[in-house]
Amino acid sequence: MANSQTSGLLELEAVVAVARHRSFRAAAQEMGVSTSALSHAVAALEARIGVRLFNRTTRSVSLSEAGVAFVAEVAPALSTIRSSLDAARHFRDTPSGTLRINTSAGAANQVMPVFIEYVRRYPDMNLDIVTEGRLVDIVVAGFDAGIRLAQTVPKDMVAVPFGDRQRFAVVGSPAYFAQYAPPAKPADLKHHQCIRSRMPSGSIDQWEFEKRDRALRINVEGPLTLDEPALMLAAARAGLGLAYLTEWNVRADLEAGSLVRVLEDWTPPLDGLCLYFPGRRYVPAGLRALIDLIRERADALRASGGTRGRRR
């Protein structure tokens, strides 16, 4: 009986993993089993319930209509089961297991010192950090927590503030400003070459400004559109135009003089990063340890007089 229950749980985990990756091979790698074993597990479940959960071709795997509904119900239940197992592990002296976190590449860069300290402090824990620009449902996607800007955290999640408030900066190289007069107000950007940012949704990001309760959103123009802050930073250094990035991204360049900031009085602070997770009766021991470390870091920073802003 125990073996059949374990097999059933693994079958459910297999279905959710294949749905997440849209690939049997990638799901098998994640679960540490062979592709054929994973395929047999999914097929066995489909045969037992009499419903096809996936549409398979030689090139692609996608959820059937029944599969979409099935995964939407099963994924949160599996998350609850994992949480209960982790709650039991809470009675161990040292947290153990795997903690899966979804975040953006920029946020991960900022939080990396905390991740490093976490791994050093809890050697029995494995951190699995997945970075992507788009927001995902962390429960359905099988994550324990996410790290994003506060304003993007879903309302039904528990949020733990992480670091300072954020702030954007409009920057250009000295060579660029040798050709163009610095803008004095956001409306002047229409006379400038701007490096545009494509969002994960495919839309072009608007540059946001605010001063004395006057808020503006501007669709800037320019010859270059990018979707990665590091590339935007490189283009700005090369004098290709103005970039709209966070202070965290441009701080070193501003201090070195390789970039010059403009419109600073038009870029007010934004909310900072948050670690967030589903409201549960039990918080997994590994996640609780990370929350405690975040709060410990915050207390230390406050005691030392605070920190400077960051983001993307």
Give domain status of residue 281, yes or no: yes
189 and 173 together in one domain: yes
- What is the three-class DSSP state of 15? helix
Give domain status of residue 189, yes or no: yes
70-102 per-residue burial string, b: 16 or more CB within 10 A, e: under 16: bbeebbeebbeebbeebbebeeeeebebebbbb
Give domain status of residue 120, yes or no: yes
161 and 275 together in one domain: yes
Residue 194, beta-bridge partner list: 242
Provide the sign of the torsion angle of the four alpha carbons 176, 179, 182, 183, taken in this order.
negative
26 and 141 together in one domain: no
Mean per-residue pLDDT of the chain:
86
Domain endpoint, select from 39, 74, 109: 74
258 and 179 together in one domain: yes
285 and 159 together in one domain: yes
CATH number at residue 27: 1.10.10.10
Give domain status of residue 32, yes or no: yes
Comparing CA positions, the residue from 281, 303, 292 lying closest to residue 86 is 281
Comparing CA positions, the residue from 162, 212, 220, 161 lying closest to residue 186 is 220
Whether the predicted model's global pTM rises above the 0.85 cut: no
158 and 193 together in one domain: no
The HSE-up count of residue 155 (CA atoms within 13 Å, CB side) is: 0
Confidence of residue 259 (pLDDT cuts 50, 70, 90): very high
Please say if the pLDDT value at position 237 is more than 90.
yes
Domain endpoint, select from 74, 103, 137: 74
Give domain status of residue 182, yes or no: yes
- Long-range contacts of range 38-46, CB-CB < 8 Å, 24 or more positions apart? 38/14, 41/7, 41/10, 41/11, 41/14, 42/11, 42/14, 42/15, 42/18, 44/11, 45/8, 45/11, 45/12, 45/14, 45/15
Confidence of residue 178 (pLDDT cuts 50, 70, 90): very high
Give domain status of residue 80, yes or no: no
Q: How far is CA 73 from the centre of its chain?
A: 23
* Weakest-pLDDT range from 70-74, 79-83, 288-292: 79-83
Give 81-99 pLDDT, tens digit per residue. Answer: 777 776 666 555 568 889 9
120 and 186 together in one domain: no
261 and 173 together in one domain: yes
Q: How many domains does the chain have?
A: 3
63 and 194 together in one domain: no
CB-based contacts of 262, cutoff 8 Å, min separation 6 = 170, 171, 172, 182, 183, 242
**Residue 22 and residue 15 in contact, taking contact as beta carbons nearer than 8 Å:** no
Domain limits at 1? 1-74
Give 39-56 pLDDT, tens digit per residue. Answer: 888 998 899 889 899 998
Alpha carbons 54 and 68: distance in angstroms, whole number? 9
Domain endpoint, select from 266, 287, 303: 266
218 and 254 together in one domain: yes
Tokens coding 145: 């927590």
As a whole number of angstroms, the longest Cα–Cα distance in the chain is 77
**Residue 242 and residue 193 in contact, taking contact as beta carbons nearer than 8 Å:** yes
Residue 148, beta-bridge partner list: 274
Confidence of residue 4 (pLDDT cuts 50, 70, 90): very low
CATH number at residue 203: 3.40.190.10
Alpha carbons 7 and 47: distance in angstroms, whole number? 14
**Residue 144 and residue 286 in contact, taking contact as beta carbons nearer than 8 Å:** yes
pLDDT score of 2: 39
Confidence of residue 309 (pLDDT cuts 50, 70, 90): very low
Give domain status of residue 85, yes or no: no
113 and 62 together in one domain: no
- Read off the amino acid at residue 27: A
257 and 173 together in one domain: yes
Give domain status of residue 83, yes or no: no
Of 43-52, 134-143, 231-240, highest mean pLDDT:
231-240
